[in-house]
Amino acid sequence: MNIMKPMKYVLVVMAVVLLFGGTAMAHKVSLFAYAEGGKIYTESYFPDGKPVQGGKVMVYDSQDQLILEGVTDDEGLFSFDIPKIDDFNIVINATMGHKNSFKLKKSEVEAGK
């Protein structure tokens, strides 16, 4: 009779592990940015290389002012004209609130203007 109890417990644990264990890793997002030919290009991706589609990109300057925002395309890409020569902090906000950011240095922006 009692044999079902531990079984149930195991199943619940397994369900929880499957639900959260898997997603924690899969949803770690990253953004990479570089400046080239007057533009700043961003690429947003999951660790296995899948693009972050429809992720919100926010660009902050060295004064931490939001200067522009956009949405990643099907390939996880979003680009924009260099707004000014400055240090930028570029934030990617994927679904479910998974965020990461990338610091693009002024020197790199200068080199790519």
Partner 1 sequence: MKTKKFMQFMMMVAVMMMVASPVAAHFGTIIPSDDIVTQDDDKTLKIEVKFLHPLEGHYMEMVKPKQFGVMHDGKKTDLLASLQAAKAKGPDQDKSFTFWQADFKIRRPGDYTFFVEPTPYWEPAEDCFIIHYTKVCVDALGLEEGWDAPVGLETEIIPMTRPYGLWTGNLFTGQVLLKGKPVPFAEVEVEYLNESPGNKSIVVPPSDPYVTQVVKADANGVFSYAMPRAGWWGFAALNEADWKIKHDGQDKGVEIGAVFWVHTIDMK
43: its two tokens: 């690429």
Give the strand order in the sheet containing 77-81: 30-36, 39-45, 77-81
Judged by beta carbon, residue 9 or residue 22, the one nearer partner 1 is 22
Closer residue to partner 1 (CB): 30 or 53: 30
Q: First-to-last CA distance in the chain? A: 73
* Interface with partner 1, residue 32, by CB under 8 A: yes
61 with 88: CB under 8 angstroms? yes
Q: What contacts 66, CB < 8 A, 6 or more positions away?
A: 58, 59, 60
Q: Toward partner 1, which CB reaches closer, 9 or 23?
A: 23
Binding pattern to partner 1, positions 58-97, x when CB under 8 A? ----------------------------------------
Give the residue, chosen from 35, 43, 55, 60, that forms a contact with partner 1 under the rule CB under 8 A: 43
Contact set with partner 1 (CB under 8 A) = 28-30, 32, 34, 43, 45, 47-49, 100, 102-103
